[in-house]
Amino acid sequence: MTEKEEEASNRPVVLVTGCGKGGIGFEYCKHFAQMGCDVYASDVGSVENMQELTAQNARIKTLCMDVTSDESVAAGVEEVVREAGRIDVVVNNAGVGATGPLAELPLAEVQRAWEINCLGHLRVVQTVVPHMVRRGHGTIVNVGSVVGAVSTPWAGAYCASKAALHAASEALRLELRPFGIRVVLVMPGAIRSNFGEANLQRLRERKWGLYAPFKEAILGRAVASQGANSTCPSAFASHIVAKVLMPRPPRRIVFGRMAGLLGILSVAPLWLRDLYFSRRFGL
């Protein structure tokens, strides 16, 4: 083995989902590459919105991968394994919002949130795990949310999909331990990204029935994580990447604005939590 080949064999190979420009996945890729990893950035559809990544760092490659498709995930994982020989770290970051009152939100939107935010992660896990088992090690990072632990009004479908991912991650952590595979659950707080705006675009033209008087409050919830004081995505990604690449990464990483408050609310009496959210979200 040449010196160059030996160096490449020692660099962690990282696969990240949901890496479109303007999102947190985009920042994960940059920071993994800066830490000396070979990074595969994936997103649904065209790779054009990830071209800036490859221009910035030669260690980043891009591929199309739709986490809602068995065939697409299988093809994406095989492409990485064929080129790099292995996958050391998977960051399941792909996600979608779902804002609106549960009593009126179309079930198709609820289903889409679950399909991407939970089942999509599991689809990637089931495809990657056999490769990791053969090598006897690996790290799976599932990106949940602080609202997966504390559900908020007007985002029940999103919160529920993240809560399901949290539960699945807790089980996976123990089930994969015998194979040397670590599972890390990331729970972001309020992080600046294009996530809120994507939510808002879907909601502006929607006409609610019973909840028509609450339209402005619902729109406010769609961008609640995107205030001026929200955590910088680059700082957030830097913190998470450093933790994930530790020899013994933490089982859970909670970081970002509002994470502390929601942590307190998660153990507060229900009457206090209800009072806070009722006032915060116009109920």
Give the rounded distance of the alpha carbon of 84 from its chain centre: 23
Residue 229 binned pLDDT confidence (cut-offs 50, 70, 90): confident
CATH number of 9-280: 3.40.50.720
Indicate the domain borders of the chain. Answer: 9-280
Q: What is the CA radius of gyration of the chain?
A: 19
**Phi/psi-derived region of residue 89, left when phi > 0, alpha when psi is between -120 and 50, beta in every other case:** beta
Q: State the Cα–Cα distance between residues 96 and 223, nearest whole angstrom.
A: 13
Question: How large a percentage of the chain has pLDDT more than 90?
Answer: 81
- For range 190-214, the mean pLDDT: 83
pLDDT digits (tens, 9 = 90+) for 74-104: 999 999 999 999 999 999 999 999 999 999 9
Residues catalogued as catalytic: 158, 162
Residue 65: CB atoms within 10 Å: 27
pLDDT at 6 over 90: no
- Provide the token pair at 40: 């595969």
CA atoms within 13 A on the CB side of 38: 15
Spatial contact of 165 and 144, defined as CB atoms under 8 Å apart: yes
The three-state secondary structure class of 254 is strand
Q: What is the DSSP letter of 232?
A: P
Residue 204 binned pLDDT confidence (cut-offs 50, 70, 90): confident
Find the length of the chain.
283
pLDDT digits (tens, 9 = 90+) for 117-135: 999 999 999 999 999 999 9
- For range 161-190, the mean pLDDT: 97
pTM over 0.85: yes
Place of tokens 């079930």: 107
